C-alpha cells in the first residue's frame, strides 16, 4: 500500500499553489515546519520520515506491533460506515475519501460532512502522534489534465489544512496532487470514474531511530 504514494516520480510537475498563511500551532522538531509541504520528489517522504524518527513523537521499535494494532482498531471503529475506506498495512494505514462525500463537483471546498469526518480522523491522529500523514489528491480523466492536476492538489491541501487547523502539526503533513495519473479503477465507466475521484491519506508509522542506527519503519 505504501507503494501507491512512493512510486510517483514521473508526474508532470504542477505549479505549486501558494500555501495560505495559516498560523502553525506548535512546531515541535528541530527544523520547524510552519507551512504545508508539497512533495516534489519521492525522497521528500523519506527525508521527512527520518527527521520525524529522531523526534520525541516517534514510536519505540518494540511497540510497533502494538501501536499498529490499536491504531488500526481505532481507525476502523471511528471511520466505520462513513463511506471512507480504510486499508491497514504493516506499518501504515491507507484512508481513502471518495470525492463525492468530500467536495462539490469541480471544487476544492470541503463539504460540511467531510469536515465532520476529517475532524474525527484528526482526533485519532492527535492521539496517535507517531504518524506521518501523506495526503494525495486524484481525479478521473475527464477534462483538462492540468485543471485536474490543480484540482487534485487543491483538494489534498484542503484536507491537510483542515487537519492542521484541528491540531495536527504541519511537520506531520505532506501533500501531492496526481490528477488522473493514478487511477484505481476503469475510467470508461461512471462507477470507475467515481472511484478514481478521491483523496488518499497514507498514515505512515514513524519508528524511533535506535542506537543501531536504522529506522525499522520502511517496507522495502
Partner 1 sequence: MKSVRKTLLVACSVGAIGVVMPIALVLWVIWQQTVIVEEQRLVELSQDLAAQTEAAIVDARSLLERLNKQEFEPCSQEHLLTLQNEALSRLHLRAIGYWEAADRLCGAGLVQGQRLTPQRASRIYDSGVVAWWPSPDTTAGDVALFLMRFGNHDVAIDPRLLITPGQLRDKRVALWVEGLKMSTYPEGAEFPEPASLPEGLLVDRERNQIISRISLGSVFPIEVVAIQSFEDFWDRYRLPLTTIAGIGLVLMLLWLILVWRYLNRQLSLEAALRSAMESGRVHAVFQPIVDLRSGRCTGAEVLGRWTEKNGDAISPEIFVPLAEKAGLGTKLTLTILEDLLRHLASCPDDDQQVYHLNLTEQDLALPEFSRRLRESLDRYNIAPERVALEITERALLDCDRIRQRVAELRQRGHGIAIDDFGTGFSSLSYLQKFQLDTLKIDKTFVDSLETESVTSSVIRPIIEMGLALNLEIIAEGIESIDQIKWLTDHGVKYGQGYWYSAPLNSAGFKAWCSEKKP
Least spacing, CB of residue 145 vs partner 1, in Å: 39
Q: Residues 90, 68: contact at Cβ < 8 Å? A: yes
Least gap, CB of 78 to partner 1 (angstroms): 7
Q: Please give the Cα distance from 85 to 67 (Å, whole number).
A: 20
C-alpha cell at position 189: 465507466
Nearer to partner 1, 41 or 70 (CB): 70
Closest approach, Cβ 116 to partner 1, in A, equals 19
Query: Residue 7 or residue 70: which is nearer to partner 1 going by CB?
Result: 70
In the chain, count H helices and then E strands. 7, 6
Residues 6+ apart with CB under 8 A from 214: none
CB of 128 to partner 1, least distance (A): 5
Nearer to partner 1, 58 or 110 (CB): 58
Cβ neighbours of residue 185 under 8 Å, at least 6 residues apart?
Answer: 191, 192, 193, 195, 196
**Residues engaged in binding partner 1 (CB under 8 A):** 59-60, 62-67, 69-74, 76-78, 80, 127-130
Q: d(Cα 204, Cα 220) in Å, to the nearest integer?
A: 14
Query: In whole angstroms, how close is the CB of 133 to partner 1 at the nearest point?
Result: 15
Shortest spacing between CB 29 and partner 1, in angstroms:
18
63 vs 142, beta carbon nearer partner 1: 63
Measured CA angle at 164 (ends 158, 81), to 5 deg:
70
Residues 176 and 134: their CA atoms lie apart, in Å, by: 8
- When the beta carbons of 70 and 184 are compared against partner 1, the nearer one is 70
Q: Between 67 and 170, whose beta carbon lies closer to partner 1?
A: 67
- The rounded distance, in Å, linking the Cα atoms of 142 and 161 is 26
Pairwise CA distance, residues 195 & 67, whole Å: 30
Amino acid at each position: 500500500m505504501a507503494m501507491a504514494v512512493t512510486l510517483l516520480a514521473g508526474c508532470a510537475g504542477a505549479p505549486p499553489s501558494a500555501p495560505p498563511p495559516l498560523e502553525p500551532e506548535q512546531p515541535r522538531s528541530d527544523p520547524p515546519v510552519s507551512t504545508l509541504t508539497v512533495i516534489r520528489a519521492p525522497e521528500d517522504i523519506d527525508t521527512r520520515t527520518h527527521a520525524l524518527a529522531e523526534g520525541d513523537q516517534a514510536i519505540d521499535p518494540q511497540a510497533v506491533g502494538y501501536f499498529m494494532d490499536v491504531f488500526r482498531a481505532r481507525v476502523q471503529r471511528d471511520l466505520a460506515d462513513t463511506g471512507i475506506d480504510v486499508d491497514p498495512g504493516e506499518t501504515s494505514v491507507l484512508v481513502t475519501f471518495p470525492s463525492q462525500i468530500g467536495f462539490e463537483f469541480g471544487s476544492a471546498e470541503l463539504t460540511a460532512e467531510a469536515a465532520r469526518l476529517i475532524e474525527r480522523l484528526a482526533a485519532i491522529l492527535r492521539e496517535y502522534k507517531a504518524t506521518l500523514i501523506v495526503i494525495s489528491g486524484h481525479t478521473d480523466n475527464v477534462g483538462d489534465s492540468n485543471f485536474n492536476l490543480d484540482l487534485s492538489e487543491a483538494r489534498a491541501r484542503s484536507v491537510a489544512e483542515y487537519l492542521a487547523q484541528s491540531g495536527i502539526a504541519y511537520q506531520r503533513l505532506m501533500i501531492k496532487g496526481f490528477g488522473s495519473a493514478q487511477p484505481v479503477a476503469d475510467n470508461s465507466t461512471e462507477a470507475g470514474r467515481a472511484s478514481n475521484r478521491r483523496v488518499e491519506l497514507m498514515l505512515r508509522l514513524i519508528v524511533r531511530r535506535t542506537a543501531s542506527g536504522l529506522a525499522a519503519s520502511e517496507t522495502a
